[in-house]
Each structure stands twice: as structure tokens, then as C-alpha cells.
Amino acid sequence: MLDAATVDEDLVMFRDMVRRMVEKEVAPIAARIDRDDDMPHSLVPVFGDMGLIQIMVPEAYGGPGGTTTMACIAKEEVSRASFAVSHLVGATSIAMALPLVHYGTEEQRARYLPEIAEGRTLTCIGLTEPHTGSDVSDIRTSARREGDDYVINGQKVFITKADQAKYILLFARTSEGRGHDGISSFIVPMDSPGLKIGGSPKKMGLRGIRNCDLFFEDVRVPAGNMVGAEGQGFRNAMGVLNMNRPTVAAASVGLAQGALDASLAYAKERTQFGKPIGQFQLVQAMLADMAIQIEAARALLYNVTALIDSRPDDPRVPAMASMVKTFASDMAMKVTTDAVQVFGGAGYLQDHPVERMMRDAKVCQIYEGTNQIQRLIIARALLKQ
């Protein structure tokens, strides 16, 4: 837990501000969002007015100029109540703000960032395809140059918030064959002629957020919408992912903390054999192990965010980002599963939040790069040292 004795007082105030908002606006409707698989759009202005949606937009363009640490603090706090709603925190970061800041032109930044800074515009990112998940080099969506435009054809799947986004940062192949060097990225308005939004599959967790199929049929975008140099899209995407993976860890820590909070409350009030189950040593051991794992993940998380905020080009960043994403998501899966066990049969019912939290935790081990891929990244970095 953040403590004023060990971290900047402003961060503690920021955390407390987010926590109060979550208690008022998110916690009361978290179960309903999961049950109905629908997140109220009314939350967008709430998060936007606090600067959370656009948290990584620099102050020079009207944004809050927030750090990775701040984004993770907010993500953790919101995820304690609702993992789905936590996806509004930094919703424009990886999908527009960070790529434009690091790889875009000044003209692109001046055009898009002030709009995003208002906290009302949502964006999404288009990488995954029906046959392409971890192997991004096999992207087949194509972008063919025709005069001053690129013509895009192909399909994307599992595109988060595509139904609410105004723009997509789309990755497409601008050269023939396979390979990372032939991939480029483009800002594509979601209302572009030829772009069709498909359905969202029913998911085990992360309910309330749509993950839509997208179909591109001769979609034209100006050449000036390319972000970064042609053929450098994959390299740029990996750089942004390294900065974003800690936010997955933050959501994982928040999920686990929420599960522990619920387990502690239940262990104090649920009685068996004439006393609260929290007085039984085997239950106490589970609660202690949950707390140990959460604090270990939290310590690693904010160590990594401090590195990213102070030295983003440090060669340790890619491996450290993969480490914290892997460790925290594996931890969240373990802790939420144990929380269901503490609740016993009640934990298997949708009447209690730990059932939802366990379902939500699973995807943290999968998206933003599976934990198997993360371990390969870590091992390769170690072997290069």
C-alpha cells in the first residue's frame, strides 16, 4: 500500500482522490456491469474530468502530463472495485498518446492530442487478427499506397472499446511477405467508409468492455496518418507495450487486493463450529499468503514504474516490464482463486465479488502478450547480458 512515509505526498493525495471517486461512482455498479455485460458511457466524463482517460497526454497539449506511476496507481485503485472499468484509465495512452509522443510528427501531435486531452475521446489499437496473436509478424491486413493515400484491407479481432472509439491506431502490412520490418501503423477514424464494426464475443471475464471484430474494405487514409516511419510500426508498438505492460500488473494488483479485502471481511463474519472462520489457522495462512504475494507484486510494480518514469530508454525496461506483468498476473490468478476458496461454496456464487474477480484475473495472464511470451522476453534479455 502506498504510504506517505515512503512515497511522494502528492501521489498519496492522488490515490486517495481516485479511491473516493471509485467508492462513489464505480463500486456500487461493479456487479451490475459484469452481470449485464455493459459499462455505462456516463463514466467516461467522470474519468475524463479527473484526467484519468487522458492521463499520459503531455501538459504541452492540454493533458495532465501524468507518469506511468500515476497511471498504475489509478489503475490499481479502480481495479479493486471493477476490472472492466479500470480500462478507462489511460484509455488513450497506448492507442494514441504514447505512440504520437514518441513516434509521431509535431503536426500529428498538434492535431490529435489536444482533442484527446479533453477526456471525452476514446481510442483503440488494432494488432490482433484471426490467425495472429503472439506472432505479430504474421499480420496480413494490408495497406497499399495509392497516390497520397493508403488503401487498407483486412480484419482485426478482439479490439477493445472499438464500439466507443473515435480513432484506431491500426497496424497493417505495407510490404509483401512476413516479417516485422514490413508493418506500419496508421491513425484511422472509426467512421471511415469501408470500416465495419462486427460483434463482440461472450467472454468469461472482462465483461462490460466490448472486444469487437473489425473489417476493412478499401478503407482510405491519408499518407500523413502514418505514425512513425514506414515499416517501423512493429518496433514502435513493442516500445509502447513495454511502457504499458506495467498497467496490466497494476490492474492485477488491484484485482488481488479487492479479493483480499472481500476475503478478510468474510472471514470475520462467517462462522463455523461456533467461531469466525478467520480464527482457524489454515484460513489465516491463506490470508497471510495472499497479502504477502500482493505486497511483493506491488513493490515490484512501483520499482518498475519508477525506472520507466526516470529512465524510459534504460535497456532493462523491456525485461522488467515483462517481469512485473507476468509476476503480478500470475499472482492475481492465485490470490483470486484462493479468495474463492476462503468463501467456500459461497465463493462459487455470483452473489459475491470474488467469483467475478477470479474470472477477470485470467485474462491478465493472456493479453498484452501471454505470460509464456513474457518469459521468453525475460530469458532472452538475461542471456544477452
- Residues 160, 89 contacting (CB under 8 angstroms): no
Cell 479485502 maps to which residue?
Answer: 261
What gap in Å lies between CA 49 and CA 55, rounded to an integer? 11
CA 15-82-191 angle, to 5 degrees, is: 100
What gap in Å lies between CA 201 and CA 45, rounded to an integer? 26
Cell numbers describing residue 233: 510500426
Cell 467508492 maps to which residue?
Answer: 23
Q: Which residues pair with 378 in a beta bridge?
A: none
- CA 63 to chain CA centroid, nearest Å: 19
Three-class SS of 98-134 = HHHHHHCCHHHHHHHHHHHHCCCCCEEEECCECCECC
Active-site entry in 76, 129, 355, 368: 368
| 107 catalytic per annotation | no
Cell numbers describing residue 95: 492507442
Catalytic residues: 368
